[in-house]
Chains A and B, each alone.
Chain A
Amino acid sequence: MFAGDQNGLQGDPRLKAISEAIRVVPHFPKPGIMFQDITTLLLDHKAFKDTVDIFVDRYRDMGISVVAGVEARGFMFGPSIALAIGAKFVPLRKPRKLPGEVISEAYVLEYGTDCLEMHVGAVQPGERALVIDDLVATGGTLSAAIRLLERAGAQVVECACVVGLREVKGQHGLNGKPLYILVEPRQQINCSAPPVNGVETCRHDDLILGGNFGSPVNTTSKSD
């Protein structure tokens, strides 16, 4: 579900500011991909703080004891949320980064597979968990994250992302887990907006609300 759909956050100006603070970089990492660059959001202290606050307001009373963040951009949002709601933070990492004993979960990429790992013992059975990442595209990474947590006996309450499409395309469907998204991906069109902090952003109204995202090429891509 989208944050802006809900009572209390409809028309919330914070969501518009968050969306506008995200820079779109065309053709990265490859042609046809409109990369949603959240690093510009991190440069805007108010928008970054609002991002964390919106998640914290949603999750603080849900009895969540684990926030699992997906490497690497999930690390930029997850710990602040965890600290604010009194949960522990668990990094979910690419292979061979975590030093201790791990459990691994493979997931499918456009070409080939990749793997997500979590430390054994980080999560106890019965714990309620939140998965956080900056963006959801096909949902493959989030699905792997959910499987890891469930294998450890945790209950995944929700997956939360800053950016995502209204419909998670692809087969994964997040194993039936709910998905909470703040803003949709944008497409850079005739951006003539002045740079913010010296960085180009698109600040005019080019929000795409639902539906076809434009070209037949997959325009949102997940890479870490």
Chain B
Amino acid sequence: MMHRALIFSSLNPIYSQLSTTKASPDSAVFPKRDGAWIGPPPVFRLQNYKRTLLPPLCVASDSVANQPKMASQDEQDPRISKISSAIRVIPNFPKPGIMFQDITTLLLDTKAFRDTIDLFVERYGGKDISVVAGIEARGFIFGPPIALAIGAKFVPMRKPNKLPGEVISEEYSLEYGTDKMEMHVGAVQAGERALIIDDLIATGGTLCAAIKLLERIGAHVVECACVIELPELKGRERLGDKPLFVLVSST
């Protein structure tokens, strides 16, 4: 069975009062070093938690405000918490210190996966979006179902040398070095309204490259959409004036 857990933000008032002794015995994902937990404290199920103390998961966030709106419990879509708890956190992947947000467990939960797509489709359907651009490779999992549901085409944004036809490329920075993102020439026309989708936004470097590619050919990027945001990495700011919509905010 997949280990499902509620993931609490460190800003959560309950969280800051918690001692680490509440950890479930098999939460091996959060090892101790010198008596202290590495990374966020262990995840576990709370009985009867107060509804007003839910983590700041935001259904809609406006980059102009520079802070996600703190949704009260009444505003937060009830599907969000199940989506959040279906995401597995893997510590120290791909390297020490990184808490990897693994969406593959979300894809195993048919209702939560369905809800994820529905939340995006509800937001973008009927908004005259003709292009959904998905970033390799996990953007390929969420993008096409959204595109099909809203009547848009799907455009894969790929690593170098994968697309067979003529491409335009955009280089972007990594922590060490650079990488390149490519899109087929002719896939998108000037003036089209586009949505960019990926599973997660961290620093925002990849999304920025995707925005640049689409804008270079004259498309209008309406919004970037991700399942997960890592707000401490400030990707939202890096997107500048481009709005960002996320389902789950994870610290």
Write the residues of chain A forming the contact surface with B, with a CB cutoff of 8 angstroms: 23, 25, 28-29, 35, 37, 39, 42-45, 48-49, 52, 71-73, 75-77, 79-80, 82-83, 86-91, 93, 96-100, 119, 121-122, 195, 197-200, 224
Interchain nearest-CB distance for A163 vs B (Å) = 13
B46 at the interface (CB under 8 A from A): no
Interface of B is mostly: mixed
Contact A49 B141, CB 8 Å, known A76-B154, A79-B107, A88-B108: no
Given known contacts A42-B144, A43-B155, A45-B152, A99 and B94 CB-to-CB distance under 8 angstroms: yes
Q: Verify if B15 is at the interface (C-beta below 8 Å from A).
A: no
A97 to B2 alpha-carbon distance, docked (Å): 19
CB distance from B128 to the nearest CB of A (A): 14
| Residues of B bordering A, CB below 8 Å | 1-2, 88, 90, 93-94, 100, 102, 104, 107-110, 113-114, 117, 136-138, 140-142, 144-145, 147-148, 151-156, 158, 161-165, 184-187, 189
Residues in A whose Cβ lies below 8 Å from that of B1: 121
Say whether B141 contacts A79, CB under 8 Å. yes
Verify A42–B113 contact, CB threshold 8 A: no
A43 contacts B189, C-beta separation under 8 Å: no
- Knowing A99-B93, A195-B186, A197-B189, the reply to whether A42 touches B156 (Cβ < 8 A) is yes
CB distance from A167 to the nearest CB of B (A): 24
B169 to chain A, nearest CB (A): 16
Instruction: Give complex CA distance A148, B185 in Å.
Output: 37
Q: Which residue of A lies closest to B101 (CB)?
A: A99
